Amino acid sequence: MSKIGIFDSGFGGLTVLKGIRKLLPEYDYIYLGDSARAPYGTRSQEVIYKFTEQAVEYLFNQGCELIILACNTASSEALRKIQQEYLVKNHPQKRVLGVVIPAAEKAVGFEYKKIGVMATNSTVESGSYIREIKKLDSGTEIIQKPCPLLVPIIESGEIHKDVLSIVLINYLDTLKNNRVETIILGCTHYEIILDEIKKHAGNIKIIEQSPVVAEKLKDYLKRHPEIEKKLSKNRSVDYLSTDITSRFEIFAEKILGEKIKVKRVELE
């Protein structure tokens, strides 16, 4: 039997894993964070694809049938090629899904006409959110705000420092001045500082990806019983990372509400 793989460039994707396990606790999961090479958001498309392909191949070799790219940068810069070329050639019976489309669908579902997106440089430059939102509603205006400082601040553990407030005020003012009605958190790391974002966003609705992705995965498995029936159901989770630091374990325990054991692996 097979597992569900969750991949992120670091530990931000643990928020997605938590949301999925809350809704679908019966399945077996493998979480893989490429902490040694994080963040992905400032890297070239070629490098992001290379790293993502290595992670996907590793997870397939570990027995995963289905993989969620719980990384907006990887979903924006690598997912399409992974699905259209890599899977067709190497693993035609397996599946890789992303986090951009579910968030876009959720935002458009509220019928807002001005949607803000906070994301990494790579995600913003890829235009993935503009592309997916416009497919659903061509009349929607999308205002993107690259937030290059947030992931380094979160990964450093300095999330309770005054500098975070200063940075968030700067980023959010751009979206407020454009009168956006809702904001998509286009990076799974950002949910770790959700309370701070909400405090500075005021009355603007915030769309978190973890519950949205969980709902979409549940629906996907209902629609694809040929995938679902292959998945093992022992409620287990394996945690893997390309680099094990105290910050990873501290944040993992904070996000998941439990102590975990992380195994170090190498991606080639």
Question: CA torsion sign, 60 to 63 to 67 to 69?
Answer: negative
Q: Which two tokens stand for residue 142?
A: 């999308």
Question: Which residues neighbour 23 within 8 Å (Cβ) at sequence distance 6 or greater?
Answer: 211, 214, 215, 217, 218
pTM of the model: 0.93
Q: Catalytic site residue 64?
A: no
List the chain domain ranges: 3-98+211-264, 100-209
* Catalytic pick among 187, 193, 231, 267: 187
pLDDT reading at 57 higher than 90: yes
How large is the angle between the packed helices 246-256 and 14-23, nearest 10 degrees? Answer: 30
The arrangement of strands across the sheet holding 3-8 comes to 95-97, 64-69, 3-8, 29-33, 237-241, 262-264
Q: For 40-66, what is the mean pLDDT?
A: 96
Separation in Å, CA 234 to CA 22, 168, 216, 227, 237: 15, 41, 21, 17, 9
Q: How confident is the model at residue 103 (pLDDT cuts 50, 70, 90)?
A: very high
Q: What is the pLDDT of residue 244?
A: 85
Contact 70, 17 (CB under 8 A): yes
Class of domain 3-98+211-264: alpha beta
Closest CA to 214 of 103, 56, 72, 58: 103
User: pLDDT tens-digit profile of 195-236?
Assistant: 999 999 999 999 999 999 999 999 999 999 999 999 999 999
What Rg value do the Cα atoms of the chain yield, rounded? Answer: 18
User: DSSP labels for 73-87?
Assistant: HHHHHTHHHIIIIIH
Q: Catalytic site residue 187?
A: yes
* Identical fold between 3-98+211-264 and 100-209: yes
* Catalytic pick among 6, 30, 67, 71: 71
At residue 97's C-alpha, the angle toward residues 96 and 101, to 5°, is: 155
pLDDT reading at 35 higher than 80: yes
Q: How many Cβ atoms are within 10 Å of 1's Cβ, its own excluded?
A: 12
d(CA 144, CA 177): 12
User: pLDDT tens-digit profile of 151-171?
Assistant: 888 887 767 678 899 999 999
Q: What is the pLDDT of residue 248?
A: 77
pLDDT reading at 250 higher than 90: no
Residues β-bridged to residue 143 = 116
How do 29-33 and 182-186 pair as beta strands?
Answer: unpaired
* CATH 1.10.3720.10 fits domain 100-209: no
d(CA 106, CA 197): 19
